[in-house]
Structure 1
Amino acid sequence: MNTDTSKRTRKASTLVVALILAAALGLGTLSLFAGSGSDSGSGGGRTADADRGGSAGKDAPSAQDQALLALQRRAAGDPMALGKKDAPVVLIEYSDFQCPFCGKFARDTKPELVEKYVAAGVLRIEWRHFPIFGDESQAAARAGWAAGQQGRFWEFHDVAYGEERKKNSGEFAGDELIAMAKEAGVRDLARFERDMAGTAAEEAVNGDAAEGQNLGVTSTPAFLVNTTPVLGAQPTEVFEEAIDEARKAAGEAE
């Protein structure tokens, strides 16, 4: 598909979703994502008009945009965040460790975004647990949270996504998760097991999932770049475009 055709396709798709969004907001919801199925490939694209998230010409963000920006946690020392607390752009990622397209994003796109934008102080990435494939997804999410309690979430993330794994095959259960934690450099494995089984992990994972559901997330991976939703493991250029536009909207020069 050539560049012009790709742009027209994305614009048509975002227009449809923008209309859905407008109707949803009339009902007092923030249903941003129109994904279907249990995980998303690279066909979904950006799911709202690029200018909807507050262009540089606007005096102030709308009430809707303020609500979306309020989802950014920007907590100092957040073990499940990468980048400066005050970065002008925040990419919130809703993902499942068993999702193959989440793994594709983790291996192919995230490293490029980290090198180009996170290292430059432009982008902050905030992870949200969104387990949708059953018990092993739930267990993996709690394990990721537990690794984060010892400052090793992203190392666990990289191990979990380091290779393609078959869903619900036992690769994200019991001893396999402990082995991943060990490979990720989690020092106190006994504490890791306690944390993984504790109510705090369950509450954290459920809280993340509820946040995504309130946005209308139904498939993974799903992303929010400041106020612009992106669905699926899109090409890196799609994320770069969204980040650059969000940066300009925030008043930051490139």
Structure 2
Amino acid sequence: MRLVFLLGAVLLGLAQAQLTYPVEQFAKALEVRATGSSWAYGSARVQVQSLNKRLYKVSYQGPANDPGRAGEVLAAALGNPQIRQAFAGYVKANAGSLKGRGPVSVKVADGFDFRLELAANLSFALSPVERHDFGPDRYLLGAKGPVIRVFSDFECPFCRRFAFEVMPELVRAYVRKGQARVSYRHFPLVEIHPRATQAAQGSECAAQQGKFLLYHDLLFVRGLEVRERAEELGLDLRRFERCLADPATRQVVEEERRQALRLGLQGTPTVFVGPFQLPNAFDLEAYGRYLEMARALR
């Protein structure tokens, strides 16, 4: 079940979402004292979990007949006051179908897991999307630190923008200082990008000659003509062509795409900092907060 009508409102407020910020900031938004991990909020209870003093998870339990109060907590956690009324209206309109079903996973926005339950009480849990089953990282930039995994598509214009605008900043701010590593993951969106898979195969063949990162950059800078890019890098073209024609090369790309789908990914670029999915891959300030939380999990 999806809380579809909430999506637009949530997206307006993600920049102010309280998750990953200091716990005290969330308490201030609710106008309660941040003492311990369980707070009274009127007739309801709010529980928080933190990582390195940053808000990690929010749980709520309160009267089933007061969805407005639950909406206040959700609105504060997501940093958008519009959520309160929208959430309360949804619960009232759908109480019959929600009650007694157990926890329902609700899609509110990229980067957040939200589970809602309506029984004798109304309860919910909000947390960052967290995944751990990534498999091995094959192309790592950097020597140590949590891994920033970038699921990307060579034909995706937003991925090209990410490569030019975000990657250099990540390298400058974190990779060179030994605070993070970056891992590239193939996620060709074959339904809309017919050249993406071959470009990914070309990068795999460049990797066999020790030039993955250079080839990656050149594809975004110069275009997706895979053989021309190989020639510009001075690769052994006969070896490159044999690799490109090898079905095993395509299988590597397709398996990485399947892994992205198993993780529930739908678009590119999608970025995980450690186990946490970023709501917005272009929010440079968020990387530092998520890295702090990722370090606290280790």
Distance 2:197 2:79 in 1: 32
Q: Indicate the residue corresponding to 1:180 in structure 2.
A: 229
* Counterpart check, 1:161 vs 2:220: yes
Ranges in structure 1 where 5+ consecutive residues have no aligned partner? 17-21, 26-33, 36-43, 54-63, 164-170
Give the counterpart of 2:248 among 184, 188, 200. Answer: 200
Tell me the CA shift for residue 88 of structure 1. Answer: 3.2
Q: Which residue of 1 aligns with 2:44?
A: none
| Correspondent of 1:209 among 248, 252, 257 | 257
| Aligned pairs (5 A) from 1:3-22 | 6-8=15-17, 11-12=77-78
TM-score (norm 1): 0.66
1:205: how far off?
0.3
Counterpart CA distance in 2 for 1:13 and 1:154 is: 38
Shift of 1:95: 0.6
- 1:119-164: CA deviation from partner (whole Å, max 9, x where unpaired): 222212111111113431111111111111111111011111226x
More displaced stretch, 119-128 vs 204-213: 119-128
What is the CA distance between 1:82 and its match in structure 2?
1.0
For 1:98-247, what aligned pairs fall within 5 Å after superposition? 98-132=155-189, 133-162=192-221, 172=224, 176-183=225-232, 185-247=233-295
The whole-number CA distance in structure 2 between the counterparts of 1:159 and 1:131 is: 17
What is the deviation of 1:220?
A: 0.5
- Answer whether contact 2:105 2:113 (CA < 8 A) is retained: no
Q: Is the 8 A contact 2:206 2:235 kept in 1?
A: no
Distance 1:46 1:236 in 2: 15
- Partner residue in 1 for 2:151: 94
Aligned with 2:136 (options 73, 80, 85): 73
- What is the Cα-based RMSD across aligned positions, in Å? 3.3
Q: Deviations over 1:184-221 (max 9, x none)?
A: x2421111121122122111101110110001111111
Q: Is the 8 A contact 1:152 1:186 kept in 2?
A: no
**Number of residue pairs the alignment of both structures matches:** 196
Match of 2:206, as an amino acid?
Answer: A
Of structures 1 and 2, the larger Rg is shown by: 2
Q: TM-score, normalised by structure 2?
A: 0.57
Q: Distance in 2 between matches of 1:186 and 1:147?
A: 10
Unaligned runs of 5+ in 2: 1-12, 20-76, 88-102, 115-125
Tell me by how many angstroms 1:94 deviates.
0.9
Q: Using the alignment, how far apart are the partners of 1:13 and 1:206 within structure 2? A: 38
Residue type of the partner of 1:90?
V
1:5, 1:137 → 2: CA distance? 30
Comparing both structures, which one devotes a greater share of its residues to strand?
2
Question: Measured at CA, do residues 120 and 145 of structure 1 come closer, stay the same or move farther in structure 2, by a change above 3 Å?
Answer: same
Q: Is the 8 A contact 2:153 2:188 kept in 1?
A: yes
Q: Which amino acid aligns with 1:155?
A: L
- Partner Cα separation in structure 1 for residue 238 and residue 79 of structure 2: 48
- Write out per-residue CA displacement over residues 42-79 of structure 1, whole angstroms, 9 at most, x where no aligned residue: xx764459x946xxxxxxxxxx96xx3342525xxx4x
> How far apart are the structure 2 equivalents of 1:194 and 1:24?
47
